[in-house]
Amino acid sequence: MKIGGKLLERKTGGRSRYWQVFWLCFAVAAALFLPHCIIDGLNGDFFHYAGDFNDQQISFYSYANNFVKQGGSFSWATDLGSGFVNSYSFYLCGSPFFWLTLLLPYRWTPWAMVPMLCLKFAVAGGGAYLWMRRWVKDERWSMVGACLYAFSGFTVYNVFFNHFLDVVALFPYMLKALDDAVLDRRHGAFPFWVAVNLLNNYFFFAGQAVFLMIYFVCMVAGGRYKLNLRLFGALAFQTVLGCCMGCALLVPAALSLVQNPRTIDPFNGYGYLVYGSAQQYLAIFYSAFLMP
């Protein structure tokens, strides 16, 4: 929190309101989904939304649940046949939320999608609260900020991209772990959360890493992070350690992707400079004022 131009750091000791934020976000998410669940349930069906959520996300979760329990490794039901890790590491292989659904029979998976969505909103809000509470004077504002983060336009809009929410839910814990490592010298959690985020989704992890580097540079430049050679070396080691642990899915996925000609076909000509559709410019303009 900034007061008089100075950024204040509040000590993170004392009673945490994590579970209050967690259950508040869970309840709000449940209230959003419940009317639609009731309508679909009266028709003897489970929650349907739109687009990829119906066509891919539900079927991916159900299929993967059954496939893992059968001990499979190569899926003949995917495309014309593909390695399971290669095809599903982007969607769910490394997601802790997916592995939680393995506690249920695979036939129950379609009905578990909404509770898992509510859980993701709750985890996102809780993580955002844990990071924000250090940087506000009045902890109640960190609760407000956490709810705003959990129910941002990005998260609400991207429900049909179910795996996008996993990234939003897990990222604040890595951010908090970085603060803890630098400011409190608590180092164990940072490599763990780096590994969890990389395992969860290697594609989005690239953006998370860029954000974390910008955050780190800004905190050092602003004087909030006081570094010395020993601390910097410890952070570098933990970063490498976390990335190495998270490569369990990245390496096989990368080896598969580099053999796909579509992934190495670069833009050419004006594709570097302009969008191919004029509609894209109007969409960018109105998204500045209205939700898509």
> What is the average per-residue pLDDT within 29-36?
90
What is the tens place of the pLDDT at every residue in 134-187?
999 888 999 999 999 999 988 988 888 889 999 999 999 999 999 999 999 998
pLDDT of the residue at 291: 64
Band the pLDDT of 276: cuts 50, 70, 90: confident
Q: In sequence order, what DSSP letters do the residues of the chain get, joined into one string? A: -EETTEE------S---HHHHHHHHHHHHHHHHHHHHHHHHHTT-----SHHIIIIIHHHHHHHHHHHHTT--EETTSTTSEEHHHHHTTTTTT-HHHHHHTTS-GGGHHHHHHHHHHHHHHHHHHHHHHHHGGG-SSHHHHHHHHHHHHT-HHHHHGGGSHHHHHHHHHHHHHHHHHHHHHHS---THHHHHHHHHHHH-HHHHHHHHHHHHHHHHHHHHTTSS---HHHHHHHHHHHHHHHHHHHHHHHHHHHHHTT-GGGS----GGGGTS-S-THHHHHHHHHTTS--
Band the pLDDT of 290: cuts 50, 70, 90: confident
Answer whether residue 129 shows pLDDT above 80: yes
Residue 249 CB partners (closer than 8 Å, separation 6+): 85, 89, 93, 94, 199, 202
> What is the average per-residue pLDDT within 95-107?
90
**256, 86 Cβ separation under 8 angstroms:** yes
The span from the first CA to the last CA of the chain, in angstroms, equals: 31
C-alpha dihedral (148, 149, 152, 154), degrees to nearest 10: 180
pTM: 0.84
C-alpha dihedral (243, 204, 214, 133), degrees to nearest 10: -90
- In angstroms, the CA 125 to CA 127 distance is 5
**253, 85 Cβ separation under 8 angstroms:** yes
pLDDT of the residue at 234: 93
Which tokens go with 247? Answer: 């490569």
pLDDT of the residue at 1: 44
Answer whether residue 31 shows pLDDT above 70: yes
